[in-house]
Structure 1
Amino acid sequence: MLYWSEVGKQPRLMEATMDGRRQRVLLAQGLGWPTALALDLPTSRLFWLDEKLSSVGSIHLDGTDVKVLQLRWVQSPFAAAVCEGQLYWSEGKAWSVQQVDKATGKNRTVLLKRHGQPHGLQVMHPALRLATPDPCTARGCSHLCLLSSRHAGQCRCPVGLTLAADETTCLPLHTSAFALLVSPAAVTQVYLKDMPPTAGAQGLPPHRALPLAKVGRLTAVDYTVKDKSLYFAEVGGNSIGLLRLKDSGRLSWKRVVAVESTVVSLAVDWLSGNLYWIEGQPTSIRVATAGGQWTLVLLSEGLRGAAWLALCPRASTMCFITAAGSRRPGATVECAAMDGSGRRVVWNRAHSPAGLTFGGASTRLYWADRERGAIGSVELDGSHFRLVREGLHGLRLFAIGDGFLLWSTTTNNGEAI
């Protein structure tokens, strides 16, 4: 176990397993500034010295049996240690190292006094280093092994690396699957390997922001893993941009495809490198070669409110969503071959769909229905519809990948969660 103290408006003593998990408040009452801690393993007690209250306290490691001694010579304790029947600590103001009887606080002795403030303090004795098997010896961790609950070793990785599926080897983050979190003027690369497995977790897992200098409000992005390139479009822009994420860390972007109006959705064919997008006013679905030299209009009729373009190169299929019209009450999920032929309706009972994407070995389509607060799924032939999740109030965006369903919601004041 790992123990520490916190000072401030809510001083407390804390504990956690040595891998940082299972955090628990050990004591949160009767504390001022608990600035020095010492563990007494033979008695299973934790001692602390309190600068504000001029006291020495101890508590059983299960959080019971609190004892406090008022000791006026405790003025500015920095570090402490316990060995057998004695409590030792360093005093900053008195420039000394002192000891007292740990049970009574009596028999105070100044062991060392010299010019200069003493800080860290350690007592070395065989009784304090009990022989015990090391569970990390057989784990074979590539970088770090930390003790967890039940005295088990867990492999962990330093910043910039992530744990592989074998749970022993640390790999560079760029080998991990990731999601792109897009805000109006920034894109954040969120690595999924260490994503919490349940909804509602606080904070982002390992991530990095992608700088997009001189870029306005973003409307659409897509990423190609093969050449580490991010394609993006912005409101009022006259082109689709390309940001190359080079291994050297140097970032640069350029305009690759000219467009006539705002791009509302784009997707890259990762097999051919061709770039597909939906362009508004008038709405059309277009395709261009990777370098943007050649452009072709694939579809231009019956695309009212078209958005959320999704590609499945393996099935030679592209899908998109069109808005409801006077003759049909709900939005429609449509698909066609990637050359624009064979257009067909897959599902016409969605209310306010968003985040259209392929999943299930590319045989199923998934989307978020904002109005219903649900995530739906259907086969490419329109069969076997099912609701994957329901009750998602304020549902806005949706994506799927690497075994995760990812979605965003909003509160009443519009803040994303």
Structure 2
Amino acid sequence: MALTPGVLHVTQPVDGGVGAYVAMAAADQARRGWRVAVACPGTGPLAAELDRLGVHRLDWTARRAPGLSDAVQAARLRRIVGEFGPDVVHLHSSKAGLAGRAALRGRVPTLFQPHGWSWLAARGVAAAAALAWERLAARWADRVICVGAGEAALARRHGVPGDLVVVRNGVDLRRFRPAGPRERAEARARHGIAEDTPLAVCVGRVTRQKGQDLLLAAWERVAARDGRARLAVVGDGPLLRALRSRAVPGVHFAGAVADVRSWYAAADVVVLPSRWEGLPLTALEAMATGRPVVACAVSGLTELVTGGVGALVPPGDGAGLAEALLVRLGQPALAAAEGVAAAALADGFGVDGALDGLAGHTLGVVAGVGTGAGEACSSSRLRKTPDERGFDEHCQTPWGQ
């Protein structure tokens, strides 16, 4: 095994959770003395962050949507791999997973990390085609890194084969810490929010996946019952302009921000109305800041929003979403108690353990070592969730041991 392996990370998303994860993982591996590079588009926050961290970056221009340019992107990635000469290629998200596995076809040890399965982002024939591709391409990944047990269970249920392992996302607990009354007051002053204003905050790319359109529809119900309540939508994305034009009074669009911590600190409750997820960093950040989370009950979020830290509502249930928000906006003591519980739960999702787990699997792939049941259970020390029960067929050792 190479003691200082060469790792090439490949990603098309350069913002949001995927961009943040890639920067964090690449920087950690570089600190371990590994030879590391990231192939990604040269625009957006990821490129700037890699430059700040001193991580080598290679330009790989790729579009998010599939199309005729995919063959060109795959050929370009093949050349990058040939020039860099990695011991292992780590493909992040669907576009890199498509281009990388099609280009390399197992000729270089390969990790694939979906960060949310590709077929969930499509509908109809496109979804069926994406699922068929994942079943086929599984043979060209030595190991599939799932960010949550629900993501792994979803693959099994849909017949996606392969060496599936769970390395849960982690949050930097040194950076995201419980925000008390003083931090809350300072954050609200910074954003021009009165101390007694009930405030819900939604952080994330403004896309169909993240469900801000569902949230705005639900917020009409909230505003009708509590005229003091305010909603802050923090993030940029393709749906921002359209949603801004239809929002009711009391909704503030903050756009993309360099540091989201003050928005979490200012919030009474954080809301994630997502249609699908892997295991969202946004939820972990909000919980680590000591804020309750109201979310749609989709895979990934069901692993995090458990008893006493907020509320889960059925996906697409606008009335349920509004009611859960109104309860926490109208009952500060309940929201505060759930925030304390959320911070305690987030303490089990520290980033150091997640990065150690990822490094271990990377070295295992370089050495050609397969996983056993115990290795496939890389996870924080938490009790078993409903999503994890569906993963038992592959993971026979007790969770949390």
TM-score normalised per structure 2: 0.21
Which structure: greater strand fraction? Answer: 1
Which structure: greater helix fraction? Answer: 2
Q: Which has the higher contact order (CA 8 A, sep 6+)?
A: 2
